Amino acid sequence: MNGAKVEKKALKLGYMPLSDCLPLLVAQQQGFFEQQGLKVELQQEVSWSNIRDKVIVGHLDGAHMLAPMILASSIGLGGLKKSLITAFSMGLNGNALTVSNSLHRELFELNTTEFDQASTMKQLIEQRKAQKLPALVFATVYPYSCHNLQLRDWLASADIDPDKDIDIVILPPSQMVDHLKLQHIDGFFAGAPWNSVAILQGHGHCLITGMEIWQNAPEKVLGVTLEWAEKNPECHHAVIRALYQACAWLEQHAEQALPLLQSHLSLNSPLIDQECLIPAITGEYIFDNNQEKSKAPGTLVFNRSMANFPWLSHGQLICSQMKRWHWLPPSIDSDELVANCYRPDIYRQALASQPLSDEILPENNFLQDHLATL
């Protein structure tokens, strides 16, 4: 299509083996990258840190990235300082809190109707303190992640101090279920499909989904360095168009994508089968070991509700939450940081000539609803 124009044909894009990497897999399998004149190699990575470092040093042209990571790296939090940007959101939602069977039982015994409320968790934590029991341990996937922010937000809604009243540890998503099973942790807040895996294998219960904490929450984005974007604008546009097409395709054919997803996710995780992938992709409820209906652990939104637009308000939401936990130095101007990292202008340029561009491009770069949770 626009093959002759791209500055660089052969691209290497990184991803973590999670359900929300699907837009990349689909764009490759359905030939959407190729139609844009790109020859893309997808590279599976083992850690978010690797994704960030490889993008920063240029071993990857771009990657499936945690939205808060873009902001954190741009000011040098947690690693090398390098301006990263995103002009494409790979989708919304997908996260959930799954707790061990024993914690679930304790919460249920404390309050049968509101066992899934943060207030019941608070009550249990106070009770455990009085009994001099060790603090509960919750795992999440990366310090600068929406997972961590959503978990902390939920805990804080019942006056639980996530830095003092519980322990938060970081584990790779693929290790969550094993650690839960071995009772190293009492719960985890992770993305699809790991909540479903824990539930279906009978090691835990989904207590609350990310959607219940932040409605249509930002999650993964396409991350590139500012330097790369400035050097390869047409190429960046082409990637965005291919991914947009993949997300729109997924909205219609989610079920068809299950075997593709399974083949990539099961490469390094024997726990993955197609059944555990279904809930996040199709929204179908699953049943736990006692044949009781479980919460759908966070259905992914790939394209509808303007899910792919890099809303400045999503950046603002993440920034304000990072400020809340004193992760951002007070000298940082949030508006400026968001404006540097979130680039709706690039998204608009990439998709301006698409059919129905009126419908896929919002009027404003900001949506007040995103900040309603604050």
Partner 1 sequence: MKPARVMLVDDTPTRSAILEQALLDQGLIVVCRLESAQGLIKNVEVHQPDIIIMDLESPDRDTLENMTVLNQHNPKPVIMFSDEDDSQIIAQAVQAGVSAYIVDGLNPSRVKPIMDVAIARFREYQALKNELKQTRDQLADRKVIDKAKGLLMKTRGLDEEQAYHAMRKMAMDQSKPIVDIAQNILSVMELLAP
Q: ω before 134 within 30° of 0 (cis)?
A: no
* Residue whose CB is less far from partner 1, 37 or 162: 162
Stretch that binds partner 1, among 53-61, 109-117, 150-158, 299-307 (CB under 8 A): 53-61
* Residue whose CB is less far from partner 1, 22 or 77: 77
Q: Does 189 bind partner 1 (CB under 8 A)?
A: no
Q: Does 371 bind partner 1 (CB under 8 A)?
A: no
- Distance separating alpha carbons of residues 167 and 286, to the nearest angstrom: 29
Q: Does 43 bind partner 1 (CB under 8 A)?
A: no
Q: Does 231 bind partner 1 (CB under 8 A)?
A: no
* Residue whose CB is less far from partner 1, 171 or 248: 171
Q: Does 29 bind partner 1 (CB under 8 A)?
A: no
Q: Does 48 bind partner 1 (CB under 8 A)?
A: yes
Q: Does 81 bind partner 1 (CB under 8 A)?
A: yes
Stretch that binds partner 1, among 70-78, 200-208, 297-305, 348-356 (CB under 8 A): 70-78
Q: Does 227 bind partner 1 (CB under 8 A)?
A: no
- For partner 1, the binding residue among 80, 133, 267, 352 (CB under 8 A) is 80
Q: Which CA distances in Å does 212 have to 5, 130, 260, 295, 308?
A: 44, 30, 29, 11, 20
Least gap, CB of 232 to partner 1 (angstroms): 19
Least gap, CB of 145 to partner 1 (angstroms): 9
Q: Does 327 bind partner 1 (CB under 8 A)?
A: yes
In residues, how long is the chain? 374
- 132-151 residues in contact with partner 1 (CB under 8 A) are 141-144
Q: Does 267 bind partner 1 (CB under 8 A)?
A: no
* Residue whose CB is less far from partner 1, 34 or 167: 167
- For partner 1, the binding residue among 22, 24, 40, 56 (CB under 8 A) is 56
- For partner 1, the binding residue among 101, 123, 175, 373 (CB under 8 A) is 175
Least gap, CB of 83 to partner 1 (angstroms): 11
Q: Does 1 bind partner 1 (CB under 8 A)?
A: no
- For partner 1, the binding residue among 1, 133, 169, 371 (CB under 8 A) is 169
Q: Does 252 bind partner 1 (CB under 8 A)?
A: no
Least gap, CB of 144 to partner 1 (angstroms): 8
- For partner 1, the binding residue among 79, 108, 251, 274 (CB under 8 A) is 79
Strand partners, 220: 66
- Distance separating alpha carbons of residues 94 and 79, to the nearest angstrom: 26
Residues found near partner 1 in the complex (CB under 8 A): 46-50, 53-54, 56-59, 76-82, 141-144, 163, 169-172, 174-175, 327
